[in-house]
Amino acid sequence: MSILKLHTFNPMDHGFRVRWLLAEMDIDVEIIERDFDSIKSDEFAKLNPFKRIPVVETEQGVFYESSAICWWLAQKYNSDLLLSPDDSNFPLMLQWVFLASSNFDSAAMSFAIAFRMQLNEKIIAERKDNLTEFLEPLSEHFVSNHWVLGDRFTLPDILLIYPIMMIASCKGLEDYPSLIRYLHDFITRPAGEFFKPIYQSIQES
Ligand SMILES: N[C@@H](CCC(=O)N[C@@H](CS)C(=O)NCC(=O)O)C(=O)O
């Protein structure tokens, strides 16, 4: 039995990051599928008072916030997806971890929610427009960099791909071929086996 339990939505949510990281590290996880009503319950509030997922239950306690969970797990299992603080690129890695977890993530979710809930076209267009200031520099970055830190695949790639994938699933990536290339290279990594049926269902939805 796995020592880790991950509360997550079907087909996916920010818990995607945790699942992917664990797959990269070849660590088992027990998935506890949740729906929107169940995460708004008093019972779930005992796990996360903010009533959001993902949440992990571990031998060290119960935690939420996908990027924090990923950082902790990568460090706990000594993953080479994290640079050492002595590495000259460490601050750069940190910069991308926060970029992937803050404004860009919020802007991407805001667009994806509007698109999926079929809010009025003006709102969808506005939220898509708000993404441009992120997508343009990102797209430029991935013209000359294979991964976030060049040739080396690291944790911020796992964090960054979630909002990029959500945008792609809402037809928001068509104008950015380098980001389509990045997404493709990411989801075809060996760790992505578990994800193939999930990705297909997102594309079809
Ligand atoms: N910053 C949080 C975001 C968590 C989050 O917003 N999760 C969404 C699912 S992807 C959720 O629980 N939504 C429920 C709601 O908005 O009420 C993280 O990275 O874990």
Check residue 3 and give its pLDDT. 82
Check residue 121 and give its pLDDT. 95
| Boundary-marking domain end, from 76, 110, 133 | 76
Distances (CA, A) of 190 to 21, 54, 109: 12, 23, 27
The answer to whether residue 81 is domain-embedded is no
For residues 59 and 155, membership in a common domain is answered with no
Distances (CA, A) of 77 to 11, 31, 55, 81, 83: 26, 19, 19, 10, 13
- 126 alpha carbon – ligand 1 mean position (Å): 22
The answer to whether residue 62 is domain-embedded is yes
pLDDT value at 85 more than 80:
yes
The answer to whether residue 152 is domain-embedded is yes
The answer to whether residue 84 is domain-embedded is no
What is the average pLDDT value for the chain, to the nearest integer? 95
Residue 38, judged by CB atoms within 10 A of its CB (0-12, 13-18, 19+), counts as middle
* 52 Cβ below 6 A of ligand 1: yes
Check residue 78 and give its pLDDT. 96
Q: What total number of domains does the chain contain? A: 2
Ligand 1 pocket: which of 6, 8, 9, 13 to mutate (most atoms <8 Å of CB)? 13
The answer to whether residue 155 is domain-embedded is yes
Identify the domain containing residue 143 by its residue range.
Answer: 90-204
- Taking residues 62-69, report their average pLDDT: 98
Taking each helix axis from N to C end, the angle separating 155-169 and 90-101, rounded to the nearest 10 degrees, works out to 30
pLDDT value at 144 more than 80:
yes
71, 97 contact by CB (below 8 A): yes
* 11 Cβ below 6 A of ligand 1: no
Ligand 1 pocket: which of 39, 40, 53, 170 to mutate (most atoms <8 Å of CB)? 53
Residue of 203 and 165 predicted with greater confidence: 165
pLDDT value at 1 more than 70:
no
For residues 200 and 105, membership in a common domain is answered with yes
Q: What is the pTM of this model?
A: 0.95
Q: Comparing C-alpha atoms, which of 157, 162, 169, 164 is closest to residue 203?
A: 169
Q: pLDDT tens-digit profile of 100-143?
A: 999 999 999 999 999 999 999 999 999 999 999 999 999 999 99
* 38 Cβ below 6 A of ligand 1: no
- What ranges make up the beta strands (E) of the chain? 5-9, 30-34, 55-58, 61-64
* 65 Cβ below 6 A of ligand 1: yes
Q: Which residues of 41-51 are buried (b: 16+ CB within 10 A; e: fewer)?
A: eeebeebbeeb
The answer to whether residue 195 is domain-embedded is yes
C-alpha angle 160/93/167, rounded to 5°? Answer: 10
CATH number for the domain that contains residue 192: 1.20.1050.10
| Boundary-marking domain end, from 20, 41, 76 | 76
CA-CA distance, 71 to 18, in Å (whole number)? 9
- 13 alpha carbon – ligand 1 mean position (Å): 7
For residues 99 and 162, membership in a common domain is answered with yes
The answer to whether residue 82 is domain-embedded is no
CATH number for the domain that contains residue 50: 3.40.30.10
Check residue 108 and give its pLDDT. 98
Check residue 43 and give its pLDDT. 96
For residues 186 and 155, membership in a common domain is answered with yes
User: From atom 10 of ligand 1, which residue's Cα is the shortest distance away?
Assistant: 13
Tokens at residue 120, please?
A: 């009025």
For residues 118 and 156, membership in a common domain is answered with yes
Q: Side chain identity at 139, as an amino acid letter?
A: S
- 143 alpha carbon – ligand 1 mean position (Å): 30
pLDDT value at 12 more than 90:
no
For residues 193 and 142, membership in a common domain is answered with yes
The answer to whether residue 162 is domain-embedded is yes
